[in-house]
Structure 1
Amino acid sequence: GVFAFMVTSLVHYRWIRWGALPMYLAGIVFLILTKFIGVKVYGARSWLHLGPINFQPAQLAVVAGIMVLALFLTQFRQMHPALRLLLSGAIAGAPCLLILMQPDLGEVIIWVPVMFALWFVAGLPLRYLVCIILIAIAFIPIAINFGLKPYQQQRITAFTHPDIDKQGSAWAINQSLIAIGSGGWSGKGFKAPNTQIELGFLPATAVHNDYIFSAVAEQWGFVGGIILIGVFALLLITCLFVAFFAGDQLGLLLVIGVTALIFTHIFQNVGMTIAMLPITGVPLPLISYSGSFVLVIMFGLGLVNSVWIHRNVPAQRD
C-alpha cells in the first residue's frame, strides 16, 4: 500500500489518460471472470483468486471508473450536457451492473455518491441531477421488494425493526450496539478480557473488517471513536484543500472522486455499526483488514498527492 502511494504520487496524474482505460477494461474483465470462477463470501461471489493473489475486482473497477469518468468529463466539456450525462452514466453503469450480478450491493451503493460528486463538480446542470435523484427515490420501494436477494431484504428488516429477530438477522447489529455502548467514555482497554469480540458475540470473521469501528469503540470508548472520526475528517478536509488548488479540471475531478469514495466508505461503515444505515459489508478505509482495499485506497491517495505535487506543472496541450 505504501509503495503504491509513493509510486502514484511521483507519477504525473495527467499520465492517467494512458492508464485509465486499460485499468477500467481490466476491471470489467476481472468482474466477468468473478461471475464464473469467483469465490462466494457472505452470499456474494465477489472475490477472485488468481494464484497467490486474492482481491475484489469491484474495488479495482471503482477506482478505475473514477479515473475514466474524470478523464471523460474533462475532455468532453463542450458536449451537450444530456449526452455527457448519458455517456458518463454508461461508463459507470457497466461495472455497476456486473457488481450487482455478484451480488455486491454495498459496492454499488458506494458508486452513487461518487458519480454524483463528479457530475456536480464537472458542472452538469443541477436540474438533471435532481431529476435522477427523484426517479431513484421513486424506484427504491420496487428495488427493495423485487430486486434484492432474501438475505439483503433481511438486512433491511433488521435495520428498520431491530427488535424483531434479535437472534437472527438483527443479531450482528444489536451486538455491535452493545459493544459500542459497553465501551463507555474511555473504553475497556486494548485487548481487554470479556469483550464482545473475545466472547464471540460479534462475528469473528467480520469484526476486523465490517465491524472494526465497533471494536475500536469498545476498546477505546467514545473518546477513541471521536478521535478516529476526527482523523478521517482531517484527511477529507486535506483532500478538499488539494482539490481547491488543483492545477486543472482533471486533477480537481480525480481528487473529488477519491474524496467521495473515502467519505462514502466511512459514512457507510460507521453508519451501519451504529444502526444509522443497513448492513452493507463495506470496509472502513485504512482501518479494516482488507489487503486489496487498502491498496486501492492508498493508490487513490497517491493520485491526490500527485495532484498536489504537480499542481504548478504546466499542462501540455492535447
Structure 2
Amino acid sequence: MKKLMESNFDEKLVISILLLALSSCIAISSSQKYQQYEQNFLLSQIIWFCLGTIIVLFIFVFDMEQIRKLTPYLYVFGILLLIFVLFAPNTIAPIRNGAKSWILFPGIGQIQPSEFMKIFLILMLAYITKNHKEKIGMGSVSQDGKYLIKIFFASIIPIYLVYLQNDFGTSLVMLVITIFIIFVSGINWKIIVGFLGMAISVIALLVLLFLYSPNTLLLFMDTYQLDRIYSWLNPFQYEAGIGYQLSKSILAIGSGMISGKGYYGGQVYIPEAHSDFIFTMVAEAFGFIGACTVIFFYFFLIYRIVAIAIKQREETFEIIICIGMIGMIGFHTFQNIGMVSGLLPITGIPLLLMSYGGSSVLATMFGLGIVLNISYRTKKYLFS
C-alpha cells in the first residue's frame, strides 16, 4: 500500500471505473422491470465486475516488460480461439442473433473471444510499433511503408476472422483501433494524407452506391445489413419489423426529457434493454441530466487514460496501449450512444462497462488493468 501511494498510480481512473460500474448496475436493475428473461442480470453483472477486479489485481503481478514478452503468445492464442469458434459445432459455439461468436462453457456461461481479441490486438500493435521504432526507425516513406505492412497483416487476420463470425460491429472496432494507432505512431504525414484521401473516397463511393445502385452493395453485404441501413434512415416506417427496437429507443429517450421518469418509471418496452440499449434506459429513467452524467463519466475515463499516456515520455509500448484503449472506449461510446439515439446505424456494439455482458466487462477490465499497471510503474522524475 505504501508503494501504491508513493507511485504514479492513477486512483482517479479507478474512481471513473467504479462510477461506470455503479451506473451499469443501476441501469440494469431498472431494465429488469420488463422481465424479458428469468435470469437476474444485475447479480450476474456484479459477479462479472468482481471477476474483472481479480483480473486487474492479477495483472499487477507482471511488469510491463513481462507483458511485452507475453504479447505475441496472447495474440496467437486469441487467433486460435477465433478459428476454433468458426469451426466448432453449434453445441459448443452456438449462433446468437445470426452471429457465431461465443464459446459455451456448461455451468459457467458463454465467452466471446472477439472481445478479448480487441485487447490482444492493441498489445500486438504496440509490440510491433515499439520493435519497429527500435530496429528500423520511422519518419521516411520506406520505413513507414514496412511498418504499415506489419500492421496490416497483424490486424487484418483478426478483423477478417471476426467478420466471418458475422460480427460486423466488433470487426469495425478493431479497424478503428488500428487506424487510431497508425495515426499516433509517428508515420510520415504524406502517408496520413493519403489514408485520409482514400477513406473519404471510399465513404463517398459507398454513399453514391447506396443512393443510385443499392443492389451493388449486396456484393459485400447481406440483405439484412442493407435493411438495417434503411431502418436507420426511417425507423418509424419499419417500426413493425426491423426498425422496432430503434423506434422504441428514440421514443424512450425523448420521453425522459430533462429529469427522467424515475428509477422504475420507464414505460417504453425495449427488447434487450439491459444489453446494447442500456443507454436508453438511463435516458428514460434519469432524463437528459442522467444521460449527460454518464457521458461525463466516459469523458473523465478517457481523460485519465490520456493523462497516463502523457506521462510515459518515450515509452512507446505503453503509449500505444493507452492510445489503443482510448480508441476502443471512445468509439464504443460514440457508436453505441449514436445508434440508440438514431444518429448512427445500429451495429450491435455494447456500451463498455455499462451494457450487460461477461466477456465485454472482463475484456475491458483486462485492458484497463494494463493501463492502471502502466500508471503504477511510471517513474517519478525530480524535475518532471
* Contact preservation (8 Å) 1:14, 1:250: no
2:174 pairs with 80, 89, 111, which one?
111
* Contact preservation (8 Å) 1:20, 1:64: yes
Report the AA paired with residue 226 of structure 1. Answer: C
Distance in structure 1 (CA, Å) of the matches to 2:72 and 2:111: 20
Report the AA paired with residue 239 of structure 1. Answer: I
Partner of 2:193: 130
> Does residue 238 in structure 1 map to residue 304 in structure 2?
yes
The normalised TM-score by structure 2 is: 0.76
Structure 1 window deviating more from structure 2 (124-133 vs 167-176): it is: 124-133
Partner of 2:226: 153
Deviation at 1:262, TM superposition (A): 0.8
Question: 3-state DSSP class of the match of 1:41?
Answer: coil
Distance in structure 2 (CA, Å) of the matches to 1:76 and 1:307: 21
Partner of 1:265: 332
CA RMSD of aligned residues (A): 1.8
Report the AA paired with residue 301 of structure 1. Answer: L
2:110 pairs with 36, 43, 54, which one?
54
Question: 3-state DSSP class of the match of 1:45?
Answer: coil
Distance in structure 2 (CA, Å) of the matches to 1:127 and 1:160: 36
Deviation at 1:313, TM superposition (A): 8.1
Question: 3-state DSSP class of the match of 2:154?
Answer: helix
Question: 3-state DSSP class of the match of 2:172?
Answer: helix
2:267 pairs with 191, 195, 199, which one?
195
1:190-228 CA-partner distances (Å, limit 9, x unpaired): 122x621xxxx311xx21111000011111111000000
Distance in structure 2 (CA, Å) of the matches to 1:87 and 1:263: 25
- In structure 2, relative to structure 1, the CA distance for the partners of 1:270 and 1:144 (3 Å cut) is farther
Question: 3-state DSSP class of the match of 1:85?
Answer: helix
> Sequence identity of aligned pairs in percent?
29
* Contact preservation (8 Å) 1:120, 1:126: no
Structure 2 matches for 1:219-258, cutoff 5 A?
A: 219-247=285-313, 248-258=315-325
Partner of 1:41: 96
Q: Which blocks of at least 5 consecutive residues in structure 1 are unaligned? A: none
Structure 1 window deviating more from structure 2 (96-105 vs 119-128): it is: 119-128
Report the AA paired with residue 214 of structure 1. Answer: T
Distance in structure 2 (CA, Å) of the matches to 1:221 and 1:273: 14
Question: 3-state DSSP class of the match of 1:54?
Answer: strand
Higher relative contact order (CA 8 A, sep 6+): 2
Larger-Rg structure? 2
| Number of aligned residue pairs | 307
* Contact preservation (8 Å) 1:269, 1:282: yes
Deviation at 1:160, TM superposition (A): 2.1
The normalised TM-score by structure 1 is: 0.91
Deviation beyond 6 Å, 4+ runs, structure 1:
none
Distance in structure 1 (CA, Å) of the matches to 2:175 and 2:59: 25
Deviation at 1:135, TM superposition (A): 2.8
Structure 1 window deviating more from structure 2 (221-230 vs 164-173): it is: 164-173
Deviation at 1:266, TM superposition (A): 0.7
Question: 3-state DSSP class of the match of 2:351?
Answer: coil
* Contact preservation (8 Å) 1:187, 1:221: yes
Question: 3-state DSSP class of the match of 1:263?
Answer: helix
Distance in structure 2 (CA, Å) of the matches to 1:137 and 1:48: 37
Q: Which blocks of at least 5 consecutive residues in structure 2 are unaligned? A: 1-51, 138-142, 210-215
1:176-202 CA-partner distances (Å, limit 9, x unpaired): 00010111111111122x621xxxx31
Deviation at 1:53, TM superposition (A): 4.7
Structure 2 matches for 1:30-109, cutoff 5 A?
A: 30-37=81-88, 38-51=93-106, 52-77=108-133, 78-79=136-137, 80-109=143-172
* Contact preservation (8 Å) 2:159, 2:175: no
